[in-house]
Amino acid sequence: MESWPNDAGFDTDYEEHNSVELTVKGKIPPYVAGVLYRTGPLGFKAQTYEKKTWAANHWFDGFSCVHRFEISFPEDSSAPRVCYNSRRTVDELLDAVRKTGKLDGITFGKQRDLCESFFHKVISMFKPAAGPQNVGVTVSINMPGGQKGAQAINEHSNRVETLHLKTDASIINQVDPETLEPKGVCRQKSLHPSLSGELSAAHAETDPVTGDIFNYNLELGPKATYRVFRTLFSTGKTDILATFNGKPAYLHSFFLTKHYVILCVWNSHISWGGLSILYHKNILDAIAPFDPSSKAKWYVVGRAGEGLVATYESDPFFCFHTINAWEQPSSSDAKKTDVVCELSLYENLDVVHRFYYDNLMSTHEASKAYAGQKRNSCLARHAQFRLPVVEPRNASSKPLPAEVLFKSDPMIAQELPTINPSYATRKHRYTYGVADRLKSTFFDGIVKFDNVTQKAIFWDTEVHTPGEPIFVADPEGVEEDDGVLLSVVLDGVEKKSYLLVLRAKNLLELGRAEMKGPMAFGFHGTYKALGRN
């Protein structure tokens, strides 16, 4: 494995509180005019007031930040103008770390400051989690229910009225959509009193037609309880679609079709009914070892009030990110319905340990030792499952088998997957994401995967590390891949990043907007067109 320099994307404090104009090269299509938000960790080290250095261990535990790119086309010029600003959203958390030299509360990975005695660890289990929160995995524009007591936002609005950050807990952080200053944290319980559980999916699903938002809430305990819920775009009202007991698990995402919500409890089970999270104070140690004999269980919930309508089982696997799901005539009876679910699949849990900073940073000795077989077992596969003949029946009956349609070679698969958003909940052909072909300690390209041919094409440049691509459709386009991809890329030699614009059809560069410093490697983003419906 080559050592592509990437440390500047992890160990950085670069942010721009005031908007700065970027240097634009090439030609960016006018229809890209809009705003792109990115979120994720910005740095993972803090100097304490005692002049010591505190550092998080895991990439998922870095200090949350929001980035904003505004792309505009002045009336008197055909040349685009791209402006950038960014801001950490964890001022209180940073101050607490500087004061105490530790990060209290639940983290994703194990922290160096967790050196308590057994007695103190057990006592701390019974103390309610309090203090500042580190929330910043996904970002939602104009999220329904996001303003308590407010009227729903007009569906034809071209403005960014609200901006919310989410994580895999049932907490939501609101920030100012322009200055990015934090405005306050709330819990899902403010949406509905039954949503009192601790965990949820960072990736809520949105219906592309109605704008309604769906998620689950997981209440830990001896009988862990899942509640699947919907928040209506038109009114902001939240209702519970189904409540059922199941094995508690770390589930970062799920599936949505026109008529169903599908929650797959894959094999990231949390031990002790969830109490292990309180004991270990991190998610990774709380997840039980991968059990190859334990089936993944699929729960199908009706969106029209039918509750839990069917269950399925499949061989065990793990997943961070689902891609899409859709309904189609059944392969056994055209009058009935199958559901196809698409995701980036892992054969085991090795990947959750991959994202410790020591394993990711190119100059760290641990990243060199992590190469080889350890890395090979951390590669995703593009996969599809079929849930045959989905129809209401006794949900407590024996689960039916979920069928594997295909699993791709990992060399042509992707992580941080995305599609043309207008194809959500219906059959699509193309998926875009970041590639991992073992060329570096992190990601090494952008990939476009074709479901029909099961082949892929790539964009890559030596020592340039891309982030998640976001699809922006050409409003005059007729094909699914008529549009562009927006990705933020780090030049590992220059230690500066740029906003890359690729033609989605062939992954050829159209233009870029060069930044003045390195943007921290982040997780996810979202885009909203400005100036048109």
Task: State both tokens at 112.
Answer: 């160096």
Q: Which residue has the tokens 């967790």?
A: 114
271 contacts 288 by C-beta, under 8 angstroms = yes
Please write down the HEC assignment for all residues of 85-150: EEEECCHHHHHHHHHHCCCCCCECCCCCCCCCCHHHHHHHHCCCCCCCCCCCCEEEECCCCCCCCC
Q: What is the DSSP letter of 380?
A: -
Bin 342: left if φ > 0, else alpha if -120 < ψ < 50, else beta.
beta
Cβ neighbours around 96 below 10 Å, total: 18
Element at 185 (helix H, strand E)? strand 182-187
What does the chain come to in residues? 533
249 contacts 264 by C-beta, under 8 angstroms = no
The answer on whether 321 is annotated among ligand-binding residues is: yes
Which amino acid is residue 224, in one-letter code? Answer: A
3 contacts 368 by C-beta, under 8 angstroms = yes
| Parallel, antiparallel or unpaired: strands 213-219 and 205-206 | antiparallel
The answer on whether 280 is annotated among ligand-binding residues is: no
Q: What is the DSSP letter of 82?
A: E
Contacts of 54 (CB under 8 A, 6+ apart): 45, 46, 47, 48, 97, 98, 101, 102, 103, 113
36 contacts 519 by C-beta, under 8 angstroms = no
Nearest CA-CA partner of 313 in 365, 387, 218: 387
The answer on whether 353 is annotated among ligand-binding residues is: no
The Cα–Cα gap between 221 and 107 comes to: 19
The Cα–Cα gap between 418 and 446 comes to: 11
The Cα–Cα gap between 168 and 472 comes to: 26
The answer on whether 364 is annotated among ligand-binding residues is: no
* Bridge partners (DSSP) listed for residue 455: 450
The Cα–Cα gap between 395 and 419 comes to: 32
**Which residues carry a binding-site annotation?**
203, 252, 321, 524
**Which residues carry a binding-site annotation for Fe cation?**
203, 252, 321, 524
